[in-house]
Amino acid sequence: MVSQAKKLEALGNFTKLVGDDPVLAYLMGFLTGQVERVHFVRDSQGADIFLRLSQDKFTVWPGEPFRANVGGVVMPHPIAFVKAVGQTHSDRQICVSLHFERANETDWYQEVLLPDVSHVRLGVEAVEQEARVLRSEMDHALDIYAECKRLLEKSESERKTELDYYMSVAQAQMKLLSGKLEEVSTQLKQYQKN
């Protein structure tokens, strides 16, 4: 999964490229505010919400600066896009493709670029799977702790040291897994379901 910091860096760098256009700068500000929903993709086929921005003014055949599609409807203008996405589609992912001189050689863009829309969907599924695995491991550690506690109440003193050790290992494991689960839950919130 691409970090929000990297996506913010990419949005900030592209904003510098289009800074002389107030409408595109406004659009970039909107995307910055929605960074958890923004995913940069090379191929937009199959995207529910797609935005293509170009800053190709130095090329022989410049591309159109703005092209967007929201749920199959072509958006004529960045402000219409912001209104449509911000008000009626606040839970859907936004797939963005940036076009500018030397984009293929620019590290800050290549670091955030996914091959296609399926990687956005796979990202959600991967995070959900990781959360399931962590919850299962946490349940296992909790079972070990509970069983050791039960045995400790029934056993003689010679097993007390051994059982105390296993209980402390289980507690440490639960603490570690709880921290990881919290991180995964934050990632899952970033991927709001389509």
pLDDT tens digit string along 138-165? 999 999 999 998 888 887 767 888 888 9
| Residue 43 identity | D
Query: What CATH number does residue 58 fall under?
Result: 3.40.1530.30
Closest CA to 170 of 140, 128, 133: 140
Do 76 and 11 belong to one domain?
Answer: yes
pLDDT score recorded for residue 56: 65
User: What is the pLDDT averaged over residues 125-131?
Assistant: 75
Compute the residue count for the chain. Answer: 194
Query: Which residues are CB-neighbours of 191 under 8 A, at least 6 positions away?
Result: 36, 93, 120, 123, 124, 127
Do 79 and 173 belong to one domain?
Answer: no
Last residue in a domain, options 60, 86, 111: 111
**Binning pLDDT at 50, 70 and 90, where does residue 7 land?**
very high
pLDDT score recorded for residue 55: 79
Residue 10 located in a structural domain? yes
60, pLDDT greater than 80? no
Do 149 and 53 belong to one domain?
Answer: no
Residue 193 located in a structural domain? no
Question: How would you label 152-163 residue by residue, b for 16+ Cβ within 10 Å and e otherwise?
Answer: eeeeeeeeeeeb
Do 106 and 139 belong to one domain?
Answer: no
As a whole number of angstroms, the distance between CA 133 and CA 63 comes to 45
As a whole number of angstroms, the distance between CA 83 and CA 74 comes to 13
Residue 117 located in a structural domain? no
Per mean pLDDT, which range of 81-85, 105-109, 118-122 is the poorest? 118-122
118, pLDDT greater than 50? yes
Average pLDDT in the chain: 84
Residue 182 located in a structural domain? yes
Residue 144 located in a structural domain? yes
Last residue in a domain, options 111, 138, 155: 111
- Map residue 114 onto helix, strand or coil: strand
pLDDT score recorded for residue 122: 62
As a whole number of angstroms, the distance between CA 98 and CA 120 comes to 16
pLDDT score recorded for residue 193: 38
**Domain of 105?**
4-111
Predicted TM-score (pTM) of the model is 0.61
**Binning pLDDT at 50, 70 and 90, where does residue 115 land?**
confident
Do 87 and 136 belong to one domain?
Answer: no
| Residue 181 identity | L
Cα-only R_g, the chain = 24
